[in-house]
Amino acid sequence: MDFDLMITSFPKLLGATVITLKLLLASLFFGLFLGLFFAILRLNKNIFINKFAYGYSYVFRGTPLLVQIFIIYFGLGQIEYLRSTVLWVVLKEPYWCAIIAFTLNTGAYTSEILRSAFQTIKPGIIEAGKSLGISNKIIFYKIQIPIAIRQSLPAYGNEIILMMKGTSLASTVTLMDLTGVAKYIISTTFKPIEVFIVAGGIYLFMTFIIHNVIKYLEKKYSFQQ
Amino acid sequence: MELLAFGKTGWGDELFYATLMTVAVSVTAMIVGFLFALIFTPLKLSKYKTLNFVGNFYTTVIRGVPELLVIYLLFFGGSGAIMYVASIFGYYEYIEINAFITGAVAIGIISGAYSTEVFRGAIQSIDKGQFEAAKVLGISKFVQFYKIIFPQMLRLAIPNLSNVWQITLKDTSLISVTGLVEIMRQSYIAAGSTRDPLFFYSFAAVLYLLLTYISMKLINKLEVKYSRGY
């Protein structure tokens, strides 16, 4: 065991954790809206809209995240037309490409989680709202969404942890996130175990915090208080 | 379409073999994962705190750390560890493990952690009376597990194991970083030499979708088979 290496690499890895967290928070933020949007489309009665939303979640859940990042980072740059538009400012940066890929990916999983949460809401609750003369819009925002959030918290907690692990793929498109820096240190020092313990420890610490925050929220929003 | 032609001019045959490689790695990894699950599930269900800790440590660490990091650990550290063990037995030559074994073991360790959780959940949801009835009839622990608990556990575990299979299949794309020529690596090579990454990565996505679709159909059949009588 090379404890010196562990101590000297710790601040470097901690610095890289900032990028990991930025990627995670940005993609979760955008992914939540995307997921909500597609969950609503899934509940639409129009078969085309419904199938479109299903196709989106099927494709993004059925292919590896690595393929998605590569298509966006390496693939989209190939289209000549895109290079001349404003989008190119965003798409030439690996950072934004990674965020776009993560957002689309987590959006697909989130839409499934939210859809099943909406579907478990008892029809009686919505009917009660209607019979009280509450408008559909308010029923949706004030009754359905809060219940759906409560229902989907445990599954969404898992999704956050999966996404945190997913951000490690940003290292494949030259971003120096926690895994990227860990790989760099391993390949220069050839001491994989020491670096794995430090980097893995940081990841586990983040998992631990996410797990407990979700647990706290679940307790806070539970029906039996 | 000519990019996908079989033979020397296109990438069709290369991608076909790469797909077979992805399937081979996934299946091997799944089997390795089952072996790990076979060791760690009893540990997680054990009465002893130390054994419990070992089981929980494995599943918590592997499920909390990115797959890529585990792959790097085995890729860079695997041959070193084997050489260290070999040196104890007096063998000092350089040993290189091939990419297939490294990849299958790395993904196997990951899928093993998920399988362990699935098996634990399945065993815990078997009715307690089944264990007691076996005990009362004087059936030995070994026969009790293989003839009574295991078949029931399998039925309960199959839907969740199908999720583990999907995760494993998609995780194999990550071992392309070690240079094993599976779908992702082959697409990378093809994209590099034809300068057409959009086409090849999209095609890789289609191949993965095809694999997940086919395996879903097969697993559904298996599910029907094992839940007859319910």
User: What's the burial of A165, exposed, middle or buried (CB within 10 Å: 0-12/13-18/19+)?
Assistant: buried
CB atoms within 10 A of CB A101: 25
Which pLDDT score is estimated for A65?
A: 95
A182 and chain B in contact, CB less than 8 A: yes
Which of chain A's residues have a Cβ under 8 Å away from the Cβ of B67?
165, 168
Which of chain B's residues have a Cβ under 8 Å away from the Cβ of A161?
63-64
Which residues neighbour A187 within 8 Å (Cβ) at sequence distance 6 or greater?
B76
A115 and chain B in contact, CB less than 8 A: no
What percentage of chain A carries pLDDT values higher than 70?
99
Question: How do the domains of chain B map onto residue ranges?
Answer: 17-186
CB atoms within 10 A of CB A177: 25
Contact A187 B196 (CB under 8 A): no
Closest CA to A167 of A157, A155, A179, A184: A179
Q: Looking at the domain B17-186, which fold is it? A: MetI-like fold (1.10.3720)
Side-chain half-sphere exposure of B59, counting CA atoms within 13 A: 22
Report the alpha-carbon distance of residue B18 to residue B211 in Å, rounded: 12
Contact A192 B73 (CB under 8 A): yes
Question: 3-state DSSP call for residue B46?
Answer: coil
Closest partner residue to B177 (CB to CB) among A58, A172, A192 is A172
Closest CA to A163 of A113, A218, A216, A92: A113
Q: What is the least distance, in Å, from the CA of A36 to any CA of chain B?
A: 23
Which pLDDT score is estimated for B2?
A: 67
CB B169 within 8 A of CB B209: no
Give ∠ CA B189-B190-B196 in degrees, rounded to 5. Answer: 125
Report the alpha-carbon distance of residue A170 to residue B214 in Å, rounded: 29
Per-residue pLDDT reduced to its tens digit, A26-61: 999 999 999 999 999 998 889 999 999 999 999 999
Closest partner residue to B66 (CB to CB) among A59, A76, A179 is A179
Closest partner residue to A199 (CB to CB) among B69, B176, B196 is B69
> Residue A225 domain-assigned?
no
Strand locations in chain A (E): none
Is the pLDDT at A13 greater than 90, yes or no? yes
Q: What is the mean pLDDT of each run of 10 residues along chain B (230 residues)?
A: 71 90 95 94 90 93 92 85 81 80 93 94 89 90 85 86 92 90 92 88 94 92 80
CB A157 within 8 A of CB A113: no
CB atoms within 10 A of CB A114: 26
Identify the contact set of chain B against chain A, taking CB-CB distances under 8 A: 60-61, 63-69, 72-73, 76-77, 80, 166, 170-171, 173-174, 176-177, 184, 187-188, 191, 195-198, 201-202, 204-205, 208-209, 212-213
> Residue A207 domain-assigned?
yes
CB B67 within 8 A of CB B142: no
User: What's the domain range around A73?
Assistant: 3-220
Closest residue in A to B61 (Cα–Cα):
A204
A162 and chain B in contact, CB less than 8 A: no
Which of chain B's residues have a Cβ under 8 Å away from the Cβ of A171?
68
Contact B201 A71 (CB under 8 A): yes
Q: What is the least distance, in Å, from the CA of B119 to any CA of chain A?
A: 19
Question: 3-state DSSP call for residue A173?
Answer: helix
Side-chain half-sphere exposure of A4, counting CA atoms within 13 A: 1
Report the alpha-carbon distance of residue B108 to residue A112 in Å, rounded: 27
Contact B208 A63 (CB under 8 A): yes
Domain CATH for A44: 1.10.3720.10
Q: What is the least distance, in Å, from the CA of B186 to any CA of chain A?
A: 12
Report the alpha-carbon distance of residue B75 to residue B183 in Å, rounded: 19
Is the pLDDT at A174 greater than 50, yes or no? yes
> Residue A158 domain-assigned?
yes
Locate A204 and state its tokens.
Answer: 């586990």
Which pLDDT score is estimated for A225?
A: 46
For residues A225 and A207, the model is more confident at: A207
Closest partner residue to A67 (CB to CB) among B77, B80, B184 is B184
Locate B196 and state its tokens.
Answer: 């057409």
Q: What is the DSSP-derived secondary structure letter of residue B11?
A: S
Closest CA to B181 of B18, B11, B24, B13: B18
Contact A67 B201 (CB under 8 A): yes
Which pLDDT score is estimated for A30?
A: 96
Contact B174 A166 (CB under 8 A): no
Closest CA to A173 of A108, A100, A95, A75: A95
Which pLDDT score is estimated for B1?
A: 61
Per-residue pLDDT reduced to its tens digit, A73-127: 998 888 878 777 777 887 888 999 999 999 999 999 999 999 999 888 888 988 9
